[in-house]
Structure 1
Amino acid sequence: MIDGLIAGRLYGEAQIRTGQNGKRYVTCKVRATAGDGETLFVNVIAFDDDLQTALLALSDADSVTLTGALTPKVWTDKNGLVKPALDMVAHGLLTAYHVRRKQQTVSGESASQDLRAQDHLQDPL
């Protein structure tokens, strides 16, 4: 198994599906750019409820970063050219929203730590 991190843009909308066992899962496609500039499609499946909710909240072309188990694949386009692809069982997700929220949390914690330190210095013993 290859555990990987991919970053790209959602291609279309995430879809809710139900397995034969009755459990819900979400699938989507992400367009990522490989090191050589070629576009690579990543077929993503998510079983975790929180991850499913996050994927369903995204729209077509939203930026996303996913972590999970990767399986390399190939597919043939309508011109007969063989193209690389990846299948991913996702277990983590990060979007621009998450980054901003984490930055605000860190900034808020830093500010309150500074205030506590100042209060400590001003308290007479």
Structure 2
Amino acid sequence: MIDGLIAGRMYGYAEERSGSAGSVYVTCKVKAVTDHGETVICNVIAFNDLVRNTLLTLTDGDSVALSGALTPKVWTDKQGKVRPVLDMLAHAILHRVRSGEE
């Protein structure tokens, strides 16, 4: 596990789910761009109430920064190219307020 910070844009919308023991959590994807212009998808899960509730207010393309436990992984796309991906258990969130919400 790596304690990390990612910044990027929401890729789709956050979804609220329930665990078998009744725990509530939110999952979403964040698209981040590397220094080399490549895109990295971060699969996010959040149990913290503030992080969950804030993620649920965001829409596709909104800017967001998350802090938490990162796990780097790889996946192979349809063309056989190996690509990086991150899994994050988010503990804290910062997002940009859109015009009109200030």
TM-score, length of structure 2 as denominator length: 0.92
Q: SS of 2:32's equivalent?
A: strand
Map of 2:81 onto structure 1: 81
Normalized per residue, which structure has more helix? 1
Map of 2:39 onto structure 1: 39
Map of 1:64 onto structure 2: 64
Map of 1:10 onto structure 2: 10
Contact 2:62 2:96 in 1 (8 A): no
Partner Cα distance (1:40, 1:34) in 2: 7
Map of 1:27 onto structure 2: 27
Q: Offset at 1:53?
A: 0.4
Deviations 1:69-119 (A, max 9, x none): 00000111111111000000000100112xxxxxx9xxxxxxxxxxxxxxx
Partner Cα distance (1:7, 1:74) in 2: 19
Q: SS of 2:79's equivalent?
A: coil
Q: SS of 1:60's equivalent?
A: coil
Structure 1's consecutive aligned runs of 4 or more residues displaced over 4 angstroms after TM superposition are none
Partner Cα distance (2:38, 2:25) in 1: 29
User: Which consecutive unaligned segments of at least 5 residues does structure 1 have?
Assistant: 98-103, 105-125
Partner Cα distance (1:53, 1:92) in 2: 12
User: Which consecutive unaligned segments of at least 5 residues does structure 2 have?
Assistant: none
Normalized per residue, which structure has more strand? 2
Q: Offset at 1:45?
A: 0.3
Q: Offset at 1:32?
A: 0.2
TM-score, length of structure 1 as denominator length: 0.76
CA RMSD of aligned residues (A): 1.2
Q: Offset at 1:49?
A: 1.1
- Between Structure 1 and Structure 2, whose CA radius of gyration is higher? 1
Map of 2:48 onto structure 1: 48
Aligned residues: 98
